[in-house]
Structure 1
């Protein structure tokens, strides 16, 4: 089987995450995708991070319409920062007969060579990177070629640009602005009911 690993802070999970995953599923043959909210992201400040259980539930709601998606709390249950190599070692062992695909955004690929044990990551999985424009794709192919030269497999998948970030959505929520164009309406209801952000 081909198994996708889609990690992220998902604080909150938004329509850009969902549409990117749908595009990836139409471009790459994946039998199953594990969505993993991370405990403490190593690349980002964790300021304003709501609880893992809330982010897990928002992911369940947002991705519920896509087949063969499993929301996993594996990273949330682990102590310390959520280093991708540790997650991939675990799932490489669990799915030893299967092929893993690690899904990332374009900013992640650009900084990939600074990741903890990035060369080991290339031996554990193939990388799928989303690109938001042709210009982005051209730039990313340069990074991808460097990783391919080290034996890595990198697939670039063009997706529709999503012009807002989770941090901008959090600011809108704080100001009680309507976010339904950016968030699943059931996610909005969950956020309001729990008084998140």
Structure 2
């Protein structure tokens, strides 16, 4: 029986309830057997930004997903040398498990910028590309971009029109700096680690 697995990439700096909401919606709607959270190592589009130590981000993701047996975490992108390119990650997993049907889960912001990604054609060959809606994007524009990319690359993109939980990692970091409440934005175990380590203060 063919397994269906999703790769959900991001900096997760920190992971929050919005990420978990997306992961569960993808898990159920796409009937996936597993979702692999993939904290990015050195994302090429964020080379000018300060990102929290990867070991800490891994610890935060582990704390967030520890009760869900269909969620797991991979340190592949963090452990590999150099910049983290999505096509390399997907090709690595496709070679590792050739009989698995791979899904790559990302947001509408990535779809809108997809032409700036490296080796886009190889990404589409390695997976079913899944895009979830995010606040700040008009659905009509997103569908228009989806249709254009599908025609251009001869592919099919899955659009997950899910209820939006408007939380961002930037918002959480800013709230912590301002000593504001974040318990309603992140899982309890994540909040505990953030407090213990005094992250983002």
TM-score (norm 1): 0.93
Asked if 1:184 is matched to 2:187, the reply is: yes
Question: In structure 2, which of residues 37, 48, 51 is the aligned counterpart of residue 49 of structure 1?
Answer: 51
2:21–2:165 CA contact under 8 A, matched in 1: no
Quote how far apart the aligned CAs of 1:123 are.
0.7
Asked if 1:173 is matched to 2:192, the reply is: no
In the TM superposition, what whole-angstrom CA distance separates every residue of 1:11-69 from its partner, at most 9, and x where no partner exists? 00011000011111121111111111001122235634211111111111112233311
Asked if 1:161 is matched to 2:158, the reply is: no
Gaps of 5+ in 2: none
Report which stretch shifted further, 23-32 or 60-69.
60-69
Question: In structure 2, which of residues 14, 39, 42 is the aligned counterpart of residue 12 of structure 1?
Answer: 14
Aligned to 2:32: 30
Q: Which secondary structure state, in structure 1, belongs to the residue aligned with residue 90 of structure 2?
A: helix
Aligned to 1:139: 141
TM-score (norm 2): 0.91
Aligned to 1:109: 111
CA RMSD, 1 decimal: 1.7
Gaps of 5+ in 1: none
Mapped partners of 1:61, 1:123: distance in 2:
33
Quote how far apart the aligned CAs of 1:129 are.
0.6
Quote how far apart the aligned CAs of 1:88 are.
0.8
1:20–1:160 CA contact under 8 A, matched in 2: no
